[in-house]
Amino acid sequence: MKILVVDDEADVQPLFLQRFRKEIKNNEFDFSFALSGEEALTYLHSAHSEVVLILSDINMPGMSGLELLTHIRHDFHNPPPPPVVMMITAYGDEENHRQAMENGANDFLTKPLDFNLLKEKLKTFTE
């Protein structure tokens, strides 16, 4: 399963690779990374059909995670299934949650991430 992680913190990449090293070794998950909303869109235009799930931070300079989500839900009407999008934020408030859900997010997670919980959620989406 191809997962795209969007976060402006570069160290998120080694962290995910280490946290999910068993799953990566067993070919359960395959991670790609983007450092901004813009970069994520470019990537999706080139490799949309492969990506099954997107994890995106909300608070990023430039295009925010919520704007990225809107683009994903409006720009890509390709054959099913549309990618699952999970939003992540350090500000776990009602307003962000409501906006994420209204714009078509599948789930909403707060930082610091609980990786065990995330693993379970990812697995339920793949089943």
Partner 1 sequence: MKRYVNILLFLLMPVLSRAQQGTTDSLQQALKIAKTDSARFKAMVALENYYAEDKRAIAINYIDQCLAIARKNGKAIDEANALDSKGYELMHLGKYPESFKYLQQALAIASDPKNEGKTWSLDKNTTPYKNRISILGSIRHDMGHLMGSTNNVDQQITEYREVKKLAAAADDRQLLGMVNMNLGHVYFKLNRVDSALAFEKEAINILNRRGYDMYLSWAYYITGEIYLKKGQKDIALQFFHKSAVQSVATNNVQVTASVYSDLARYYVSEKRPDSSLLYAKKTLRVLNDMGNKDLGDAYENLYKSYRLTASFDSAYKYQGLALLARDSSFKTTIKNLADFEQLSFKTQLRLQELEKEKAAAKTRNTTIILLSGIGILLLLSIIFYRNNRQKQKANMVLEATLSNLKSTQTQLIQAEKMASLGELTAGIAHEIQNPLNFVNNFSEVNQEMIDELEEVLKVGDIEDALVIAADLKQNEQKINHHGKRADSIVKGMLQHSRTGSGEKQPTNLNAIAEEFLKLSYHGLRAKDKSFNAEIITDFANDLPKINVVQQDIGRVLLNLFNNAFYAVNQKKKSAGPAYKPEITVTTLIKNGQLTIKVRDNGNGIPDAIRDKIMQPFFTTKPTGEGTGLGLSLSYDIIVKGHGGKVSVDSIEGNYTEFTISIPV
Binding residues for partner 1, per CB under 8 A? 9, 11, 14-15, 18-19, 59, 61-62, 64, 90-91, 93, 95-96, 111-113, 115
Quick one: 52 or 96, whose CB is closer to partner 1?
A: 96
Q: Which two tokens stand for residue 18?
A: 């280490």
How many C-beta neighbours within 10 Å does residue 25 have?
9
Least CB distance from residue 126 to partner 1, whole Å?
22
Quick one: 9 or 102, whose CB is closer to partner 1?
A: 9
SS3 state at 7: coil
Quick one: 19 or 121, whose CB is closer to partner 1?
A: 19
Least CB distance from residue 90 to partner 1, whole Å?
6
Q: Locate the DSSP E strands across 1-127.
A: 2-6, 30-34, 51-57, 84-89, 107-110
Least CB distance from residue 75 to partner 1, whole Å?
18
b/e string for 30-63 if b means 16 or more Cβ within 10 A? Answer: ebbbbbbbbbbbebbeeeeeebbbbbbbbebeeb
Least CB distance from residue 113 to partner 1, whole Å?
8
